[in-house]
């Protein structure tokens, strides 16, 4: 007996269990977010099987947890060959049920008072609500704060009043050799932030942040790895703009190359950030800093072409969306970096790196060679301090050669 779920899905039997009444709505939501018919059928079939298993236990809708997903997939694996994506499909189903209000949000375990996790969560709230730091910065700061407290207290209660300067020094000496120099530098910055927070809360009187050792990080020690203008032209020419993906990626590459945006700034760009009449682009930089930039004609044309022809129908306000379902915004700058890596690998461009930041370096380097001042470069890149822009003076090799005296004994 065949059962029609909706116009795209037909099952061989009537769905049973607590989720069965919601499978039609689930199928419709998948269709609305751009999933193919095959993927919708797979999601619904898996959901029907999961619902039947829940009904046999029995488990009510309001009692479903992530543990039930794991237990069902183990049960299923004993009878059928596991398929990649089964867990993600069930997570998608449960998230849909939560949005519909039929499955409550799963309560996270409340950490014990004064435990390491309790202290870390309080610090995270402080960074987000009091300091208003970027989400990526909070992730790093919290990570190192947790590592420090676990190193000092282990599984015991984290009595912050017991912290001392020697604890701080020992932790840095233990961790720094294991980390890349830049990551070690970030660790010490995060540790100072946490120790200032501890003093701010009144848990300690001493300024333990001053006890954090300095990790050697010579200013302007390396030359920025910048992609050359001809390499940018070659990369842009290699993108097939006859496809929807190609037109989206071409617009992204132009934003990186022409305006020097960070990958995260491209990912967070929203429709209201583009002032088409004034020809301006509002960029959300680090720490909530906003920067108004002129929108070049070729960049605006590429974005408009993508928006008119290729952007999936979505309620999302973000400019760039995933091509594959679900049609949603990118999770962060990492997705933009992945697009850059993919495009460079498909082209014959021998770029310095596979990252997105090389376009930013390339733009600054080319501006400097064309006579732009450091202030103008800093304004375009959204630098808040001139010292940040100073590193690009190292790449103006022609000017440096004119200033360099001849080597003793060299030919005149």
Domains of the chain, CATH where assigned: 3-99 (no CATH), 116-211 (1.10.150), 229-399 (1.10.443.10)
Question: What is the side-by-side strand order in the sheet with 290-294?
Answer: 274-275, 280-284, 290-294
Q: How many CA atoms lie within 13 A of 321 on its CB side?
A: 21
pLDDT of res. 403: 47
308-344 pLDDT per residue, tens = 999 988 888 999 999 887 888 888 888 999 999 999 9
Q: What is the pLDDT of residue 408?
A: 61
Per-residue pLDDT tens, the chain, 412 aa: give them.
566 666 678 777 888 999 999 999 998 888 888 788 888 888 999 999 999 999 999 999 889 988 999 999 999 999 888 888 899 899 999 999 999 998 998 776 666 778 999 999 999 999 988 888 877 788 889 999 999 999 999 988 999 999 999 999 999 999 988 887 878 889 999 999 999 999 999 989 989 999 999 876 554 455 567 889 999 999 999 999 999 999 999 999 999 999 989 898 999 999 999 999 999 999 887 656 678 889 999 999 999 999 999 998 888 899 999 988 788 888 888 899 999 999 999 998 888 888 888 998 888 888 877 777 777 777 777 766 666 666 665 555 544 455 455 666 555 5
Does residue 233 sit in helix, strand or coil?
A: helix
Rama region for 351: left / alpha / beta (φ>0; ψ in -120 to 50; rest) = beta
Residue 234: the pLDDT is: 94
Which residues participate in catalysis according to the annotation? 262, 286, 357, 360, 383, 392
- Looking from the CA of 70 toward its CB, the CA atoms found within 13 Å total 3
- Backbone φ and ψ for 292, nearest 5 degrees, come out as -90, 125
DSSP-assigned states of every residue in 110-122 = PPPTTSHHHHHHH
Three-state SS for 24?
A: helix
Q: Is 37 helix (H, G, I), strand (E, B) or coil?
A: helix
In which element (H, E) is residue 280 found?
strand 280-284
Q: Which helix (H) or strand (E) holds 57?
A: none
Q: How far is CA 314 from CA 1, 26, 32, 302, in A?
A: 36, 17, 9, 20
pTM, to two decimals: 0.64
> Among candidates 66, 38, 35, which has minimal Cα distance to 50?
66
Residue 220, pLDDT score: 47
CA 154 to chain centre: 30
pLDDT in tens, 19-47: 999 999 998 888 888 788 888 888 999 99
Distance in angstroms (rounded) separating the CA atoms of residues 69 and 59: 12
Q: How far apart are CA 327 and CA 245, in angstroms?
A: 13
CA distance linking residue 53 with residue 23, whole number of Å: 15
C-alpha closest to that of 166 among 194, 115, 119, 206: 206
Contact between residue 119 and residue 160 where contact means Cβ atoms under 8 Å apart: yes
């Amino acid at each position: 007996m065949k059962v029609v779920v909706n116009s795209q899905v037909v099952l061989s039997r009537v769905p049973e269990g607590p989720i069965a009444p919601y499978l039609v709505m689930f199928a419709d939501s998948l269709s609305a977010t751009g999933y193919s018919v095959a993927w919708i059928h797979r999601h619904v079939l898996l959901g029907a099987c999961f619902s039947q298993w829940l009904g046999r236990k029995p488990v009510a809708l309001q009692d479903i947890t992530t543990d039930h997903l794991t237990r069902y997939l183990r049960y299923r694996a004993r009878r059928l060959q596991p398929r990649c994506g089964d867990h993600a499909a069930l997570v998608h189903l449960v998230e849909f049920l939560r949005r519909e209000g039929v499955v409550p949000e799963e309560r996270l375990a409340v950490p014990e008072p004064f435990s390491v996790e309790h202290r870390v969560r309080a610090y995270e709230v402080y960074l987000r609500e009091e300091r208003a730091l970027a989400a990526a910065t909070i992730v790093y700061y919290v990570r190192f704060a947790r590592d420090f407290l676990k190193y000092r207290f282990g599984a015991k209660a984290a009595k912050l009043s017991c912290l001392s300067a020697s604890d701080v020094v020992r932790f840095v000496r233990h961790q720094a050799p294991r980390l890349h120099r830049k990551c070690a530098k970030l660790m010490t910055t995060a540790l100072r932030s946490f120790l200032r927070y501890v003093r701010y809360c009144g848990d300690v009187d001493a300024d333990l942040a001053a006890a954090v050792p300095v990790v050697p990080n010579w200013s302007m020690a390396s030359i920025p790895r910048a992609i050359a203008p001809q390499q940018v032209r070659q990369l842009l020419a290699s993108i097939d703009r006859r496809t929807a993906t190609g037109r989206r990626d071409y617009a992204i590459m132009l934003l990186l190359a022409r305006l020097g945006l960070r990958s995260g700034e491209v990912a967070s760009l929203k429709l209201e950030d583009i002032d088409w009449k004034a020809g301006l682009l509002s960029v959300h930089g680090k720490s909530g800093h906003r920067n108004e930039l002129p929108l070049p004609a070729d960049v605006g044309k590429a974005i408009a072409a993508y928006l008119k022809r290729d952007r999936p129908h979505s309620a999302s306000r973000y400019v760039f969306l995933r091509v594959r379902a679900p049609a949603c915004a990118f999770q962060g700058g990492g997705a933009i970096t992945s697009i850059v890596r993919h495009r460079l690998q498909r082209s014959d461009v021998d770029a310095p790196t596979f990252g997105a930041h090389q376009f930013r370096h390339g733009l600054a380097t080319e501006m400097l060679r064309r006579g732009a001042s450091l202030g103008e470069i800093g304004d375009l890149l959204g630098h808040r301090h001139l010292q940040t822009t100073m590193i690009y003076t190292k790449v103006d090799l022609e000017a440096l050669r004119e200033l360099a005296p001849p080597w003793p004994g060299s030919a005149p």
